């Protein structure tokens, strides 16, 4: 007789039971995996959908459906809470539940019953039989019978986002193994809710950024409009037509680096038939420089015509004035008085606008078209050149400091003679300091090289310089305003 047979049978049944438990565990794990996979798919769909709230609702309904499917529950509910613990929404598998019943459920669920217990304890609530468990709250006229109940908290760390409740009409339908599985599923639902909140904030950020972008674009358009008006106004300050005199040509060009500029040139008639010649560069760039450009230009015109009424002293170089062509200083009183405008402007800017620390380099010359003599003041500006048949025949260097830096500065008056064929060329530092793509400067030496052979006219000289300058710059950005003024006395050399 085999006495070991009962022992072997017992071992067999134990191994079989262990295998069954492993199979059940695997099935539960597979079910949990399938539930999580479905939830993840819904999260991805929600992220891609423009109707976020609608997709979230559908996602949670599907999650509740999956939970009922996994546990065999007949009905279920999903309550969502806000940060204050107030029910914000409810999802019921019993879609036919009357509205008054839904209202009673939402109003009472967190105060009493199993969901209320879970709300307080932040733990799984499992009722094997509602008849024997006082945690179950029975509503009057409840449309369905409940004997088994399972409630699981949906937690984000310690914050309760919602409660998942599963119900069955028979007792002992939910085990702790199922309860733990539902807790894992609830964790996935918490992830869905967290992502929905993040997507909501992200969408709010996008909406805010979109609104800010629209406001910036509107402001940019308004600013561009105002700058364009400023550019047009500034253009109006530049002479529309340069004086046209017998035996003289006056030409100019102006290329601002921005919509508004600090450079300017001017040429205008003065009392006695004289011609004012101006080229200047206000320090700094942009709107502030443009405003001071308009101020300087207006003051030059005003003071050069009213300077006979003023007694501001300007230092004159008597030796030079007496030595040029043996001219008498008294024959140039009108020109000298017009040039007093430089000193008047200097004091006005330095005294009235000292806090702005604005100044300008400025050349102001007064031309006598009958003799070709120019009396001038060069207030810290780039040297001007007189070009004759043999090249540069005179360099008009600064005769005083930049205009507007300090009050009561002294500015010397100098004089130069233009003979027939001679060209006077003035420019701002935007020419010599223009940069090539390799960041190298254009330089004064390169500019001087263009004066030979002698150009046929003032306009031709400007064309030579412009062509060579912009070819040198190529596609490099223009950092400064480019302004030039050329005056030629016509006739045979």
Task: Write the pLDDT tens digit of every residue in 296-313.
Answer: 888 999 888 754 444 444
- Examine the pLDDT at 363 and tell me if it is beyond 90: yes
Same domain, 65 and 120: yes
Confidence of residue 355 (pLDDT cuts 50, 70, 90): confident
Question: 360: closest CA among 444, 294, 452?
Answer: 294
41 lies in the same domain as 120: yes
Question: What integer pLDDT is reported at residue 290 of this predicted model?
Answer: 75
Residue 211 is assigned to a structural domain of this protein: no
Query: Do 40 and 76 reside in the same domain of the chain?
Result: yes
Report the C-alpha gap between 402 and 340 in whole angstroms.
Answer: 15
pTM of the model: 0.57
The pLDDT value given to residue 465: 95
Per-residue pLDDT band at 243 (split at 50, 70, 90)? very high
Residue 23, Cβ density class (10 Å: 0-12 exposed, 13-18 middle, ≥19 buried)? exposed
Residue 55 pLDDT: 65
Q: Please check whether residues 141 and 257 belong to one and the same domain.
A: no
What integer is the mean pLDDT of 166-187?
88
In a domain, 4, yes or no: no
Q: Which range has highest mean pLDDT (46-50, 53-57, 218-222, 364-368)?
A: 364-368
Quick one: average pLDDT of 384-412?
93
158 shares its domain with 239:
no
pLDDT reported for residue 404: 92
- Judge whether 409 and 447 are in contact, CB under 8 Å: no
Lowest mean pLDDT among 163-177, 184-198, 320-334, 424-438: 320-334
Is 252 part of a structural domain of the chain? yes
pLDDT band (50, 70, 90) for residue 48: very low
Of 97-106, 117-126, 274-283, the poorest mean pLDDT is in 97-106
> What pLDDT, on a 0 to 100 scale, did the predictor assign at position 307?
44
Stretch 214-240: mean pLDDT: 68
Pair (124, 251) in one structural domain? no
Residue 206 placed within a domain: no
Same domain, 109 and 256: no
Query: Residue 156 and residue 160: Cα distance in Å, rounded?
Result: 7
84 vs 391, more confident: 391
Between β-strands 360-368 and 274-282, what pairing exists: parallel, antiparallel or unpaired?
Answer: antiparallel
Closest alpha carbon to 415 in 372, 458, 381, 362? 372
Q: Do 309 and 378 have their domain in common?
A: yes
At 327, the pLDDT band (50, 70, 90 cuts) reads very low
Q: What is the CATH number of the domain that holds 81?
A: 3.30.450.40
Q: What's the token pair of residue 93?
A: 């598998």
Domain boundary among 185, 201, 217: 201
**Per-residue pLDDT at 448:** 93
Which domain CATH number covers 411? 3.60.40.10
State what percent of residues in the chain have pLDDT above 90.
34
pLDDT at residue 1, as a whole number = 52
Structural domain of 156: 26-201
Single out the residue in 183, 201, 219 at which a domain terminates.
201
Q: Is the peptide bond before 453 cis (omega within 30 degrees of 0)?
A: yes
Chain mean pLDDT for the chain: 79
When divided into structural domains, the chain yields a total of: 2
The string of pLDDT tens digits covering residues 414-451 is 999 999 999 999 999 999 999 999 999 999 999 999 99
In this prediction, residue 107 carries a pLDDT of 53
**Using CA atoms, how far apart are residues 384 and 395, in angstroms rounded to an integer?**
6
59-90: per-residue pLDDT in tens? 778 778 888 888 888 888 888 887 777 777 77
Q: What share of the chain is helix, strand, coil (3-state, %, to 5)?
A: 50, 20, 30
Judge whether residue 158 has pLDDT over 50.
Answer: yes
Q: How confident is the model at residue 325 (pLDDT cuts 50, 70, 90)?
A: very low
Q: Which of 182, 201, 220 is the last residue of a domain?
A: 201
Q: Give yes or no: residues 236 and 350 share one domain.
A: yes
Instruction: Give me the mean pLDDT over the 152-157 stretch.
Output: 86
């Amino acid at each position: 007789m085999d006495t070991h047979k009962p022992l072997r049978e017992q071992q067999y049944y134990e191994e079989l039971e262990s295998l069954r438990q492993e199979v059940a565990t695997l099935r539960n794990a597979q079910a949990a995996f399938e539930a999580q996979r479905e939830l993840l798919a819904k999260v991805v769909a929600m992220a891609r959908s423009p109707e976020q709230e609608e997709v979230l609702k559908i996602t949670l309904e599907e999650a509740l459906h999956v939970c009922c499917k996994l546990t065999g529950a007949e009905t279920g509910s999903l309550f969502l809470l806000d940060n204050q613990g107030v029910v914000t929404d409810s999802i019921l598998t019993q879609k036919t539940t009357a509205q008054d019943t839904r209202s009673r459920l939402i109003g009472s669920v967190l105060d009493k019953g199993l969901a209320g217990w879970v709300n307080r304890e932040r733990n799984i609530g499992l009722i094997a039989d509602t008849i024997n468990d006082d945690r179950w709250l029975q509503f009057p006229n409840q449309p369905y019978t409940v004997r088994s109940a399972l409630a699981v908290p949906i937690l984000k760390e310690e914050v309760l986002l919602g409660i998942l409740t599963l119900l069955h009409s028979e007792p002992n339908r939910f085990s702790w193994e199922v309860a733990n599985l539902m807790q894992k599923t609830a964790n996935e639902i918490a992830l869905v809710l967290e992502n929905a909140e993040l997507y909501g904030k992200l969408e709010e950020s996008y909406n805010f950024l979109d609104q800010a972008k629209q406001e910036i674009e509107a402001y940019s358009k308004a600013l561009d409009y105002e700058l364009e008006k400023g550019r047009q106004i500034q253009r109006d300050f530049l002479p529309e037509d340069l004086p046209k005199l017998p035996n003289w040509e006056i030409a100019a060009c102006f290329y601002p680096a921005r919509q508004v500029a600090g450079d300017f040139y001017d040429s205008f008639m003065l009392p006695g038939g004289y011609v004012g010649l101006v080229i200047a560069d206000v320090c700094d760039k942009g709107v502030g420089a443009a405003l001071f450009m308009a101020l300087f230009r207006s003051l030059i015109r005003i003071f050069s015509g009213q300077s006979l009424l003023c007694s501001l002293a300007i230092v004159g170089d008597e030796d030079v004035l007496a030595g040029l062509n043996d001219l008498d200083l008294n024959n140039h009183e009108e020109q000298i008085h017009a040039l007093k405008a430089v000193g008047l402007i200097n004091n006005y800017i330095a005294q009235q606008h000292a806090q702005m620390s604005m100044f300008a380099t400025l050349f102001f010359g007064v031309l006598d078209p009958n003799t070709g003599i120019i009396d001038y003041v060069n207030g810290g500006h780039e040297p001007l050149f007189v070009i004759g048949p043999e090249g540069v025949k005179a360099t008009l260097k600064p005769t005083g400091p930049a205009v507007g830096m300090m009050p009561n500065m002294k500015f010397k008056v100098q004089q130069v003679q233009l003979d027939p064929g001679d060209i006077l060329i003035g420019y701002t530092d935007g020419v010599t300091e223009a940069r090539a793509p390799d960041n190298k400067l254009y330089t004064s030496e390169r500019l001087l090289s263009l004066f030979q052979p002698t150009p046929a006219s003032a306009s031709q000289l400007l064309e030579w310089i412009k062509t060579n300058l912009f070819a040198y710059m190529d596609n490099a950005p223009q950092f400064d305003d480019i302004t030039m003024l050329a005056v030629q006395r016509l006739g045979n050399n």
